[in-house]
Amino acid sequence: MFLSARSIIRFAALAVAATSLGGCSFLGMNFAMNQMSEKECLMRAMYFESNRSSAEGMLAVGTVVMNRMHDSRYPKTVCGVVGQKNQFAQGVLSKPMTDSGAVLASQVADQVMRGQRHPGVQNAQHFHTAGLRFPYNNMFYVLEAGGNEFYEKRSVR
C-alpha cells in the first residue's frame, strides 16, 4: 500500500501530538517538558522519587526541588530542575503515573507550589535511597522520609 505525502504528514502530526501528550518521545525528540506545567513536573518528581509512600516523603522531595530552584547553580524553573540530566529518576518526565499515588502527588504539589516546605529538609538539595551509605565526609544528613535520606553537602573542615 502506498501512502501519499499528505497522509504521511498527517500521520506524523498525529504521532507527535499523541506522544507529546503522553510525555513520550517520537524519533528521539522529547516533547513532554515543553507541554507540562510547573505543577506537573513537581508532581512527577515527587511521585517517582518518594516511592508514593507518604505525603511527608513527597513534601520532602518537593522541598528539595524548590531548594534547588532558588540556587544559582540550578535551573530557575521547576521543570528545568526536574528535567536536569542524571538528577532524578530516569523517565521522571515521561513515564506514566498509574496508581492513586498520582492523586496524593497532585495534592502535595499544590501545597508546595503555595509555599509549604518540609521543615526537616532545611537547606538540603540532595537525597538518595534510605539505607545506602557513601564514603564521602561532606554529606550532612538532615532527614529520612518516603524511603529517602536527605542531605546537605557541606565543606569539610
Q: Can you give the residue ranges of every domain in the chain?
A: 1-35, 37-153
pLDDT of residue 133: 87
- Mean pLDDT in order along the chain per 10 residues (157 residues): 53 43 37 75 95 90 98 97 94 91 95 98 96 91 95 86
Task: Tell me the three cell numbers of residue 150.
Answer: 536527605
Q: What is the pLDDT of residue 10?
A: 55
Separation of CA 142 from chain center: 21
CB 79 within 8 Å of CB 41: yes
At the topology level, CATH places domain 37-153 in Arc Repressor Mutant, subunit A (1.10.10)
Q: Which of 57, 52, 62, 146 is nearest to 109 (CA)?
A: 62
